[in-house]
Amino acid sequence: MALSSAFKERLDQMEFTRNQRLDLLQAEKELQVNKSKILASKHASIQSIERRCLMLDQKIAAQNLKITVLRSNIEDLDSKYHGSIQQLRSLKSEVEELRELDEEREKYYKVKCSEMNEFMQNVERFRSENRLQIENLRNRIKECREKKKKKMRVKRQKKNRRTVRFFTVCYGFRQPYKVLCDGTFVHHLVSNEITPADTAISELLGGPVKLFTTRCVIAELEKLGKDFAESLEAAQMLSTATCEHEEAKAADECLSEVIGVKNSEHFFLGTQDAEFRRKLQQESIVPLVFGLRNILLIDQPSDFQRQTAKDSENKRLTMTDTEKKLLVKRTAKIIASNREKGTIENEEWGMPRVVSTRNGLGVKDRPQFKRNRAKGPNPLSCMKKKKENNTEKPQSKSKANSNSGAHKEKKEGESDTKKRSRKRSKKGMSGPERTE
């Protein structure tokens, strides 16, 4: 029993020690766990610190780069500053020079102003002294300008009348003149306010005028839109010339067809198209009217038109074969009749004068020129006779005067007959010889 109690105590002690050791082991394990946790936390903190250090190193490197860049910029700015300082110095020197120049200019300007004032005073004196002469000179200049304008107008009118006369004489144009208007010509009249158009053109041509246009011209103006509305209205007011074509054509083609080559209707053409005018001058017989600002003009007849007129005149003057045959027959008859009568006459003298009435250009009517004929007897030959006085002396005087007057009249008659009688040379004698 004693052993058992001791053994029990021993067992209790051993359990107590074992429990203590177990507690110690647990405590050690807890300590190791705590140590491992502490070490892990410290290791993590160390890694984070290392990362921060790396970040700081990178930031330091970036800041160093920025510092180097800023240093280079500062150096550049310093160099620029030094350069700007030098420029400022040069500019200051230039400004000083300019100030000196301004001062010199002001001095020069003052001197010239004083000279100009003196000159203006002299001019005013001269004006006051010669004002009347200046006014007279201005009036003369105005008169000369007006005379020049009148001369230019007169020259222009003479040229225009000459061209109109050419077409009236050579091609049979008659009053009232018919003027065929193009769309460009109508627009020019409207835009330059040449109104009324018929009076302006009649003054240009020197006679009454009728204005015409065609359907194709009106259709072309309708296509051009609102800008040509006024010219369209003006064209619609004109009388229309008939077009032979049914469908609408271009204006220049339509007008060239209406006029043709010989212009049998005797149209004047008004157009502003220079190329169209050149074409018509080389191809057809038509006088062309155009405008320059507020002035209307006529183109001079072209070489083609003059040549056609000359050719037609030559054809009219020369005889055809049939006319020559008729002339030979008539001369033979006249010579035979003269021989039967016993009169000796030259054959050339017996040849009658032949006037050709052929019309080469197909002109409808030519101008008939008036001849200056005696409208009545001479009024001096119709004077009443003077009454004779009863006294003898004045009768003797009147007889003497009448005798002297008769003698003078005889002398004047003889002198007139002597002057009028002329000798013909043998070469120039084409008829029977005249005895003086």
Tens-digit pLDDT profile for residues 225-238: 888 999 999 999 99
Q: What is the pLDDT of residue 392?
A: 46
**pLDDT of amino acid 411:** 47
What does 263-319 look like in DSSP terms, one character per residue? -TT-EEEE---HHHHHHHHHHS---EEEEETTEEEEPPPPHHHHHHHHHHHHHHHS-
DSSP classification of residue 262: T
Segment 207-225 shows an average pLDDT of 91
- For residue 160, the model assigns a pLDDT of 87
- Tokens representing 156 are 């222009």
**Among candidates 221, 155, 150, which has minimal Cα distance to 188?**
221
Q: Do both 287 and 233 map to the same domain? A: yes
pLDDT band at 422 (very low <50, low <70, confident <90, very high): low
Confirm whether 186 is domain-assigned.
Answer: yes
Summary mean pLDDT of the chain = 80
pLDDT at 155: 85
> Model confidence at 145, in pLDDT bands (50, 70, 90)?
confident
178, 263: one domain = yes
- Confidence at residue 433, expressed as pLDDT on a 0 to 100 scale: 39
Same domain, 283 and 252: yes
Residue 12's Cβ-side half-sphere holds a number of Cα atoms within 13 Å equal to 6
- pLDDT at position 405 over 60: no
List phi, psi (to 5°) of 291: -125, 145
357 and 241 co-located in one domain = no
CB 346 within 8 A of CB 432: yes
Choose the weakest-confidence range: 16-30, 359-373, 377-391, 403-417.
403-417
Q: Closest Cα partner for 426 from 369, 346, 344, 362?
A: 346
Is residue 201 one of the residues assigned to a domain? yes
Q: Is 409 contained in some domain?
A: no
**In the prediction, which pLDDT does 63 show?**
92
Question: Domain holding 239: CATH number?
Answer: 3.40.50.1010
Mean per-residue pLDDT for 23-35? 90
pLDDT at 185 over 90: yes
Full residue range of the structural domain in which residue 182 is found: 173-309
215-224 and 229-237 helices, crossing angle to 10°: 160
Q: What's the rounded mean pLDDT across residues 99-105? A: 91
Cβ pair 159, 300 in contact under 8 A: yes
Confidence band of 434 (pLDDT split at 50, 70, 90): very low
Mean pLDDT of 107-122: 91
Domain termination site, one of 349, 364, 379: 364
pLDDT band of 426, cuts 50, 70, 90: very low
Q: Which residues contact 265 (CB under 8 A, 6 or more apart)?
A: 178, 241, 258, 259
What strands lie across the sheet with 209-213, from one edge to the other? 239-240, 209-213, 177-181, 267-270, 288-292, 295-298
- Output the pLDDT for position 195: 82
Structural domain includes residue 112? no
**Whole-number pLDDT of residue 395:** 45
pTM: 0.47
Mean pLDDT of 415-434: 46
Q: Check residue 363 and give its pLDDT.
A: 54
Give the per-residue pLDDT at 413. 47
**For residues 143-167, average pLDDT:** 84
Per-residue confidence (pLDDT) for residue 269, from 0 to 100: 93
Is position 228 within any domain? yes
- Note whether residue 157 is domain-resident: no
Please indicate, yes or no, whether residues 185 and 298 belong to a single structural domain of this protein: yes
User: What local confidence, expressed as pLDDT, does residue 70 receive?
Assistant: 92
Same domain, 233 and 298: yes
Query: Same domain, yes or no, for 297 and 323?
Result: no
Query: End-to-end CA distance of the chain, in Å?
Result: 227
Question: Is residue 123 in some structural domain?
Answer: no
Q: What is the mean pLDDT of residues 344-352?
A: 46
On whether both 201 and 251 belong to a single domain, the answer is yes
Considering 245, 277, 309, which residue would you say is the last residue of a domain? Answer: 309
Those residues whose C-beta lies under 8 Å from the C-beta of residue 276, and which sit 6 or more positions away, are 182, 252, 255
Q: Are residues 223 and 343 located together in one domain of the fold?
A: no
| Same-domain status, 241 and 189 | yes
Structural domain count of the chain: 2
Structure confidence at residue 157 as a pLDDT band (50, 70, 90): confident
- Residue 343 maps to a domain: yes
Q: What is the DSSP letter of 247?
A: S
Whether 218 and 336 map to the same domain: the answer is no
Question: Is the domain of 183 the same as that of 242?
Answer: yes
Q: Which of 175-179, 209-213, 366-370, 372-376 has the lowest mean pLDDT?
A: 366-370
**Nearest partner of 301 among 149, 169, 151, 152, judged by Cα:** 169
pLDDT digits (tens, 9 = 90+) for 242-297: 888 888 888 889 998 999 888 889 999 999 999 999 999 888 889 999 998 888 99
- Which of 276, 309, 342 finishes a domain? 309
